[in-house]
Amino acid sequence: MSFFDRLGNLWKGFWSLWISEAESRNPEAVYETAIDAQVNKYRDLKKAVSGIVYLRNKLQGELEAMEKELKEIDTALPVAMDQGEDEVALHLLQRKNELDSAIGSKKAELEKIASQAEDAKGSLISFQAEIEKLKRERDEMLAKKATADARIRIQETLNGMSTEADLKALQGVRENIHKRVSEADVGGEIQGQSLDSKLKAIKAKTADVTAKAQLEELKKQMAARKAAAEVGADVKKTM
């Protein structure tokens, strides 16, 4: 190893020691830097997840449009055949075959993308939880440091080693207590905004939507039975 290599390694060592010492003197800045880095990664991940969700929604819309068109063809085909429009019926049959094939492919593609979307959303939620965990760790560690600093100042005052007045040390303890009380208040204020609370709200909303869909389906079935009964009644009258 050359002299310049050794000098470079020595400089890197001094620089690393200086950085470590600076970080130890300002742990809050280190935590903020780490949290900011995680938040930036979360934003990038969220953009990627939104792209997958957009593709899933797009495929879902295309599939619904094709299924709607297929239903319309199934309705129009008997009419064309009854009216002797063979050319129209042939065209409808060809389009029906195309749609049957396309719908099968679209469903397979949608199922794959939907699975990827769910996995991506799960990763996003986990990443968000990790950020919240890091924030809690920051608050706890900084609170411990503040308490330790206050205790050291009190000990130095009692031992006659401190150059600060006794009241200044006591003020530090008071400030630390007030900070802890404020942290507890903040925890109560944001309790309803936690990830678990949001997930419960989403599940409740999903259950409501499902129930409404079931209600609409029941209404359709009742209307269909009523219509069938009326048709049967009309038939009996004509006989």
pLDDT in tens, 11-28: 444 334 434 454 456 788
If you average pLDDT over every residue of the chain, what do you get?
Answer: 77
Inter-axis angle of helices 3-25 and 27-82, to 10 degrees?
A: 80
Determine the CATH number of domain 3-199. 1.10.287
Split at pLDDT 50, 70, 90, the class of 143 is confident
| Percent of the chain surpassing pLDDT 90 | 14
Q: How far is CA 140 from CA 111, 180, 185, 186, 188, in A?
A: 44, 10, 15, 14, 16
Model confidence pLDDT, tens digit, residues 52-77: 889 999 999 999 999 999 999 888 88
Bigger pLDDT: 59 vs 160 = 59
Q: What is the pLDDT of residue 62?
A: 92
Nearest partner of 63 among 105, 26, 96, judged by Cα: 105
pLDDT in tens, 191-201: 555 566 666 76
What does the alpha-carbon distance between residue 82 and residue 116 come to, in Å, rounded to a whole number?
Answer: 46
The reported pLDDT for the residue numbered 233 is: 66
Give the pLDDT confidence score for residue 165 in this predicted structure: 56
Class of residue 88 by CB neighbours under 10 A (exposed 0-12, middle 13-18, buried 19+): middle
pLDDT band of residue 4 (cuts 50, 70, 90) is very low
- Residue 187: pLDDT above 60? no
8 Å CB contact between 144 and 176:
no
Q: pLDDT tens digits, residue range 170-182? A: 777 778 777 777 6
Q: Which of 173, 136, 181, 175 is nearest to 155 (CA)?
A: 173
pTM of the full predicted structure? 0.46
Which one, of 114, 112, 15, 102, lies nearest residue 62 by Cα? 102
Q: Exposed, middle or buried: residue 138 (CB in 10 Å: 0-12, 13-18, 19+)?
A: middle
